[in-house]
Chain A
Amino acid sequence: MMSSSQKRAEYRLLFKQNVGGRLVVDKIMMGIVFGCVIAAVIPLGSILIEVFKNGISAISIEFLTQVPGAIGSGEGGIGPAIQGTLIIIGMSSMIGVPIGVMSGIFLAEFGDNRLGRTVRFFNDVFMEFPSIVLGIFAFLVIVLVLGHFSLWAGAFALSLIMFPIVARTTEESLKMVPMTYREAGIALGLKKWVITFRIVLSAAKSGMITGILLSVGRIGGETAPLIMTVLGSSQFFSGVDSPMDALPLRIWRMSLLPYDSAQMQGWGAALVLIIIILAINITVRYYFAKKSKKGNILSKLMGMRKK
């Protein structure tokens, strides 16, 4: 049974001819959507501007290199905090990177089974554990056992934030290496571990570096787990077994003091921290955009690969 063209003309008459009205609704909704962008960009822009504006006046050679002065004096600097942040990053990487890389190798090369799926799932969930809980854990198993706060405890806590990120990005980068690379290795009669370390890992290098840098950027700004592990200090490095300062801790302490000069120093420390972290992230973007065109790092962290 076909409908006649008459019938179709009748149907058309039933349509509301309010295209104009719909276009107005569209304009309004899209305006609201644009408003969302503005509403988010304003505070976020304000943060960057305030940190740069207030921080820049605190920055000087002394500020970057000296130990903190007497409370409220406005003198001294954040030398130990910068040093501490760098050392903690280095130590966390020493623990977190090897574990993360090996774990990524496991997921990519041996992970196509039940254990692999379990590890992948819990790795993703673990990435979202509140960092302060990791601090408590490091406190309980290191600080409480040894009886004192230490760099090691902090580095251990941060390595727990680091390794799942490294594992996931390593896995993703290894999976992007074409099967033919591995097949070529097999054809040469190479052992699997040689193929993995010599051929696959070097082909996947840029993706892995991205993941490592990204995790460094993440731990560099972590504060909560450091409170109960490295504690804070106003002295330069005196051993991995003693307390240490770090930029985020310094910012926190400064911001709680009721002196303008301390607050300015807090802004200065914030500027140093934000420059380090943005530099890492921009490097990652640049590096990643150049070496790999396959989607966005965030989606990879989420485990949402594009088909």
Chain B
Amino acid sequence: MDGKQDDIENIGDDHLDSEKKYKMIAENVSVFYDDVEAVKNVTMKFKERSVTSLIGPSGCGKTTFLRCLNRMHDMTKNARVQGRILLDGEDLYAKDKDPIYHRRKVGMVFQKPNPFPTMSIYDNVAAGLRLNGVKDRRILDEIVEDSLKMAYVWDEVKNNLKKPAIELSGGQQQRLCIARALAIQPEVLLMDEPASALDPIATQKIEETITELAREFTIIIVTHNMQQAVRVSDYTAFMYLGDLIEFNETKKIFTQPKNELTSKYVKGQFG
């Protein structure tokens, strides 16, 4: 595994402290929608137990890039992905392995809360476990409770686990979706503007959740909110028109950006 990492060129790696391992590596990743290149030759490395923010003006390819990291583009009919993505050194796009082997390790939270509307809160969280053959009621109960606690929504729903998920508020639904993603015990968590549709209080709760989760998971979060990036992330990547412009420690990106575009963007001069 280490051998594989060595021959990858490090970009913007002056922030790298060597004691942490790379959990995920994206190497020369390009994404095309039909013939339009939405992500252009992006190379990034994500450290274990870190939070990385992807920022950039809307339409710059943040979502597109994020979706490469658990092969969600397989579902988009006009999308094509080039390059390599390694998870613990294993190629996500290897031909001989079905994506479902990897997806279990890479949880995802979408921009809009998308709980299964006909299922109860409990069943939403248990859905992924049942797929993985967990049937024992006690174990299900334990993991469901644990996941809901990790997502900071347990206290609000513990008395109504049988209630349809659709009856929760938007913020609660989003945290339920986080719990659903956590229940399958992923190692990486991808979040696409998880707070964009939420009110400030729900946003604050989600941010607290992220900070807590960072102790256990490798988190990659797309956000259009720069304060949020500062608050929750260790590293920040700035994208523009499909290019990765700058990738560094969050405080460096925001205090001493190297690129002029980055500097303008974080000062709020465009985007």
Contact = CB atoms under 8 A, between A and B. Distances in A.
A and B: direct contact (Cβ < 8 Å)?
yes
Interface of B: 98, 100-101, 129, 131-134, 136, 139, 143, 146, 149-150, 184-185, 212, 215-216
B142 to A, nearest CB: 8
A178 B133 CA distance: 52
Contacts of B134: 14-16
A212 to B, nearest CB: 34
B133 A8 contact: no
Q: Which 3 A-B pairs have the closest CB atoms?
A: A16-B133, A15-B132, A8-B185
Contacts of A12: 185
A2 interface: yes
Contacts of A2: 150, 212, 215-216
A23 B100 contact: yes
Nearest to B143: A11
Contact of A19 (B100, B129, B185): B100
Contacts of A1: 149
Nearest to B216: A5
Given A1-B149, A14-B134, A15-B133, 12 more contacts: A2-B215, A2-B216, A3-B150, A11-B143, A11-B185, A12-B185, A14-B136, A15-B134, A15-B184, A16-B133, A19-B101, A22-B131
A119 B104 CA distance: 51
A14 B101 CA distance: 16
20 contacts: A1-B149, A2-B215, A2-B216, A3-B150, A5-B216, A7-B146, A8-B185, A8-B216, A14-B134, A14-B136, A14-B139, A15-B134, A16-B132, A18-B133, A19-B98, A19-B100, A19-B101, A22-B131, A23-B98, A23-B100
Nearest to B129: A15
Contacts of B100: 19, 22-23
B146 A3 contact: yes
A3 B142 CA distance: 11
A24 B68 CA distance: 25
A19 B105 CA distance: 13
A249 to B, nearest CB: 46
A2 B150 CA distance: 6
A1 B216 CA distance: 13
Contacts of B146: 3, 7
Contacts of A5: 216
Contacts of A23: 98, 100
B185 to A, nearest CB: 5
Task: Find the residue from B132, B136, B212 having the highest chain A CB count within 10 A.
Answer: B132
B175 to A, nearest CB: 15
Nearest to B105: A12
B102 to A, nearest CB: 10
A19 B98 CA distance: 9
Contacts of B129: 15
Interface string A76-111: 000000000000000000000000000000000000
B34 to A, nearest CB: 17
A18 B133 CA distance: 8
A19 B101 CA distance: 7
A8 B129 CA distance: 13
Task: Find the residue from B129, B131, B133, B134 having the highest chain A CB count within 10 A.
Answer: B133
Contacts of B136: 14
Interface string A272-290: 0000000000000000000
A3 B149 CA distance: 9
A276 B129 CA distance: 55
B140 to A, nearest CB: 10
Interface in A41-64: none
Interface string A1-40: 1110101100110111011001100000000000000000
Contacts of A18: 133
A18 B101 CA distance: 10
Contacts of B150: 2-3
B106 to A, nearest CB: 14
A5 B182 CA distance: 12
A11 B150 CA distance: 14
Contacts of A22: 100, 131
A228 to B, nearest CB: 47
Contacts of B216: 2-3, 5, 8
Contacts of A3: 146, 150, 216
B112 to A, nearest CB: 14
